Amino acid sequence: MTLLRQTYLLLSKDLLLELRRRDSLLTMFFFGTLLLFVFHFAFDLSPDRIAELAPALLWLAFLFTGTLGLAQLFQAERDNHCLDALLLSPLDRGALFLAKTGFNFVLMFVVELVVIPLFWILFNLSAWNLLPQLFLVTLLGTVGFCTLGTITAAITLRARAKELLLPLVLFPLMIPVILATIRCMESIMKTGGMTEAMPWLRLLIGFDVIFLTIGILIFDWVIES
Amino acid sequence: MGPWGFVSLAYGIVCAVIVLYWLLLKRRYRQAEAELNRLKSSEAVNSHDKG
Amino acid sequence: MAQSTAAVKKRKGVLGGLALLAIIAGLCWSLLIAPPDGYQGEVQRIMYLHLPSILTAYLSYFLVFIGSGMYLWKREKKDDLLAHAAAELGVLFTALTIVEGSIWGKPTWGVWWTWDARLTLTAILLLIYAGYLMLRSLIDDEQRAASAAAILGIIGFFDIPLIHMSVYWWRTLHQPPSILRPDKKPWENVHPDMLTALAISFVGFLLLYFYLLSLRYRVGEMRQEIKALRLERGV
């Protein structure tokens, strides 16, 4: 079976499970929204400042929400010892990587789809026309987060205090994505376009491509029984 | 603090840290060596008895 | 067996001795012989520590990368030992770099910390490799810890250029021109004694680094042997 087909099978299995129980999705969604509320109380969000801070606040919310999702990523396999079964099968580990990355991506995608407009409503922002561009940049950033996140989740799987260790290891590595995504979004909100932020966009896409590739190649060594 | 104050602070901290780390390593080295010799010699004793 | 160990120990001793000589020579040149900088004054002497420190740290992380890659490929313990030892030393020298940079910054910029590109980058590097050490210490299974750490060693290394780019752009694009005085590069109109001081300091740091690395590596090796022997005995 080809890489893509295996990926598709694994991914659809995870998505089907999630569709039935919706544990991760709901938790992530509520957590993301909750963070927005907390931000409102924590920061002095006057109308003139909110447009400036919007990208950063959104991304902080997504980072923490995404981390929540990552913590759950291999939970199903661990609970039922499916991981061993998966490893025994002649499955391309790269497919497992893509499937897990894809799964977390889908979850975050759905959450972002709701949270960004929600943010716009809650904080009375008016630039609705910029949402598609902003969403695109967010998606690119999410890909970067999910690739590194999946690798990190896999390597911390057997560690003690893994819930604490995962963000500790992941966040410094994520800095290019954080910087690039937020700068791109700021540029969009300030100038309405991405021309000013093109270097950042290229960095972001480069990051995604590099770590997607590395992930596929390296995942063999990441998951071991 | 004058310029030489800052210089001595920097050089002082670096020296102190490196020396401390070196001493720490030496201690770990000695401990590991002692433990290793202990294990090896008891092995020699055991095989002696058996042989 | 005992003979080769004695020979190895003697070589380590020689290395350590050479390191000490180079360091003393370096100190002489850095503190006494080299003239103070025209702009920065005596404080510039901290650069004779700072530049070799950060270079040694980068060397260390490169060794972590090599060790990690080799370990994943060949699964030989010695590569993992190298990676671990190099990571520990890397964290040490990175921490020193940050402290030196901060102390240099106080008289130069007036503040103990600033989010300029260099300091920020060094701090991120420290976080990544401190995370590496934490990861190792939190995984109980030897082999899993080694594999997990090796993956991180490789990912971290590939991420470093990306982090470099992003932090430098962040600090130079869309930022008002900073009032920082640029460091003079060593090859631009610099007093020869300053170059000598820098060169000797480099050599001193390198020798010191390899001396410490050999010690740390041996400690790791011995611990391995101890574990293996204990396992044999069922102790």
Query: What pLDDT is stored for residue A19 in this prediction?
Result: 83
Task: Select from C197, C234, C235 the least CA-distant residue to C51.
Answer: C197
The per-residue pLDDT for range A141-199, each reduced to its tens digit, is: 999 999 999 999 999 988 888 889 999 999 999 999 999 999 999 989 888 877 888 88
ipTM of the complex: 0.88
Closest CB from C134, C144, C154 relative to A224:
C144
Asked if the C-beta of C194 comes within 8 angstroms of chain B's C-beta atoms, the answer is no
| A187-216 as b/e: b if 16+ CB within 10 A | bbbeeeebebbeebbebbeebbebbbebbb
Asked if the C-beta of C43 comes within 8 angstroms of chain B's C-beta atoms, the answer is yes
Interface of A with C in 130-149 (CB under 8 A): 148
- Block mean pLDDT (10 aa), chain B, length 51: 86 94 94 89 68 47
The answer to whether the CB atoms of C222 and B9 lie below 8 A apart is no
The answer to whether the CB atoms of B7 and C45 lie below 8 A apart is yes
Question: For residues C57 and C94, is the Cβ–Cβ distance under 8 A?
Answer: yes
Rounded Cα distance, C90 and B12, in Å: 20
Rounded Cα distance, C134 and C234, in Å: 28
Query: What pLDDT is stored for residue C211 in this prediction?
Result: 93
Alpha carbon C76 to its chain centroid, in Å, reads 24
Query: What pLDDT is stored for residue C189 in this prediction?
Result: 63
Q: For B40, which residue in chain C has the nearest alpha carbon?
A: C229
The per-residue pLDDT for range A90-136, each reduced to its tens digit, is: 777 888 899 889 999 999 999 999 999 988 888 888 888 888 889 99
Closest CB from C72, C124, C132 relative to A221:
C72
Closest CB from A183, A210, A224 relative to C147:
A224
How many Cβ contacts (< 8 angstroms) between chains A and C?
Answer: 90
Task: Select from C108, C35, C109 the least CA-distant residue to B3.
Answer: C108
The per-residue pLDDT for range A56-83, each reduced to its tens digit, is: 999 999 999 999 889 888 777 777 667 7
Chain C residues touching B26 at Cβ < 8 A = 215
Angle at the Cα of C125 from the Cα atoms of C122 and C130, rounded to 5 degrees: 125
Phi/psi of residue C34, nearest 5 degrees: -65, 140
Interface test with A, best of C70, C125, C135 (most A CBs within 10 A): C135
Flag whether C touches B (3+ CB pairs, 8 A cutoff): yes
Rounded Cα distance, C181 and C12, in Å: 42
CA distances from B29 to A145, C9, C17, C212, C221 (A): 41, 12, 18, 11, 10
Task: Select from A144, A166, A205 the least CA-distant residue to A73.
Answer: A166
The answer to whether the CB atoms of C49 and B14 lie below 8 A apart is yes
The answer to whether the CB atoms of C46 and B10 lie below 8 A apart is yes
Closest CB from C144, C159, C166 relative to A158:
C144
Would you give per-residue pLDDT tens digits along chain C (235 residues)? Answer: 444 578 888 888 888 888 888 888 888 888 887 777 777 778 888 888 999 999 999 999 999 999 999 999 999 999 999 999 999 999 999 999 999 999 998 888 888 888 888 889 999 999 999 999 999 999 988 888 999 999 999 999 999 999 988 898 888 764 444 434 445 444 456 778 788 888 899 999 999 999 999 999 999 999 999 988 888 877 6
Asked if the C-beta of A159 comes within 8 angstroms of chain C's C-beta atoms, the answer is yes
Residues 6 or more apart in contact with residue C75 via CB below 8 angstroms:
none
Rounded Cα distance, B39 and C111, in Å: 54
Q: Once rounded to an integer, what is the mean pLDDT over residues A6-11?
A: 85
The per-residue pLDDT for range A27-57, each reduced to its tens digit, is: 888 998 899 888 888 887 777 788 888 899 9
Query: What pLDDT is stored for residue C64 in this prediction?
Result: 97
Q: How far is B42 from chain C (nearest CA, A)?
A: 11
Rounded Cα distance, C122 and A202, in Å: 24
Closest CB from A172, A179, A218 relative to C127:
A172
Q: For B30, which residue in chain C has the nearest alpha carbon?
A: C219
Q: How far is C146 from chain A (nearest CA, A)?
A: 10
Q: How far is C141 from chain B (nearest CA, A)?
A: 20
The answer to whether the CB atoms of A155 and C148 lie below 8 A apart is yes
Chain C residues touching B6 at Cβ < 8 A = 43, 46, 103-104, 106-107
Phi/psi of residue A160, nearest 5 degrees: -75, 155
